[in-house]
Structure 1
């Protein structure tokens, strides 16, 4: 698993467990799946010192979220990220996609995850990830589940699975509880795993050190390890995000 530094967090997000409202900020915002999200502003930064463009994240007339990677001048490319203006604690996090994420270029990464604010912990801690990435290796599995520990020295734990979709619709979720994290992916848009792609549970004996306890915002990002090997832009559509306590 490639360790990356995610150095940007929306200028909001404070409060106790569960849901906490965030103060207003000047950054671009989107309304998607019944809540407000802050778009990562134009600039450069981790992971992998990507260039980020606000215009590469938008919601269409049908209410679907679009995340794009677009080509700039020369050999530069621009990525996209959004972060929820609410924090979420234990519960079920579900993402419904309308794109063939099994066909992403080997240098492209789509991340669906929660991520600690500074009061929760530093980078490489607490995070719970679903990522679609081959990490530069065309022969690698595409679907990645990863749990980052409370104590950074313990290192992440995860599993990977092959991904071959039967259409553009797929559902991916993680169920975060105090003693375990269960990950599931299914063909189609369903609230259960009736057409399973993968189902994996992380339930370590030392769960207090390895599984996050504090509420965190949700991030969705689309970024690059290097320029796409196929030299093409990318667009991923997320039709819905839901959180169930």
Structure 2
């Protein structure tokens, strides 16, 4: 009798063990992508939220990485227009941010905004926000590029220019130190550290002060100013991204 009970217990334990091994381990937490040696999380919102306000999707058909690069989109889905935004899992801060973007800003709807920026959820120092943005802000005179060390309402903290582009590929750099913030943009895919990159320079600007690093992450988004319905979808590809801490 005792032998039968022991055997039944062993069979039961073995069955439970086999079943436990067969159950898949579910991954919890936000969806992540790896790009530029960083981990990027998706922003999602089923109700209109800032910036915009917009609806945000982080699904595989909205944001993805392939051999071309990191893709962000604005698309219509189930009768609503959805923006995209991603942010690094890692905290960043002082250092050099360099990224190459392939997108036809001349074809952007006047309400499309592409943003590349640092952000701290703490409100001090204007959330420690430093931006490069492609936007027309609803105006019909075409998309411009702007460099900003927030707040943008101070004209000494924003530099806006209309780029004369040679194609859809551009390289951009932010160098953030404790003393200042420097911005630069270039035609094509270049290494700004090389002397020959000067021949491809579009514009540069330096702001003579900077926020403290706090607990910022880097964010990239493609969204609609004032949540306006665009004339067409938008698609942007980052072909490279790097962050070198100071």
Shared topology, TM-score over 0.5? Answer: yes
Higher share of residues assigned helix: 2
Q: 1:86 to 1:155 in 2, by over 3 A?
A: farther
**Over residues 31-52 of structure 1, what are the superposed CA-to-partner deviations in whole Å (9 max), with x where a residue is unaligned?**
1122211111242311122001
Unmatched tracts of structure 1, length 5 or more? 1-23
In the alignment, which residue of structure 2 is the partner of 1:198? 203
User: Does the CA-based 8 Å contact 2:174-2:181 persist in structure 1?
Assistant: yes
Indicate whether 1:111 and 2:115 are aligned.
yes
In the alignment, which residue of structure 2 is the partner of 1:19? none
In the alignment, which residue of structure 1 is the partner of 2:241? 241
Displacement, 1:57? Answer: 1.0
Q: How does 1:10-159 map to 2 (within 5 A)?
A: 26-44=29-47, 45-55=49-59, 56-60=62-66, 62=67, 64-74=69-79, 76-118=80-122, 121=123, 124-139=126-141, 142-148=144-150, 157-159=157-159
In the alignment, which residue of structure 2 is the partner of 1:176? 176
The number of residue pairs the alignment matches comes to: 210
Q: TM-score, normalised by structure 2?
A: 0.77
Q: 1:77 to 1:223 in 2, by over 3 A?
A: same
Displacement, 1:244? Answer: 1.4
User: Does the CA-based 8 Å contact 2:112-2:135 persist in structure 1?
Assistant: yes
Secondary structure of the structure 2 residue equivalent to 1:87: coil
Q: How does 1:2-13 map to 2 (within 5 A)?
A: none
Q: TM-score, normalised by structure 1?
A: 0.78
Q: 1:77 to 1:66 in 2, by over 3 A?
A: same
RMSD of Structure 2 on Structure 1 (CA)? 2.4
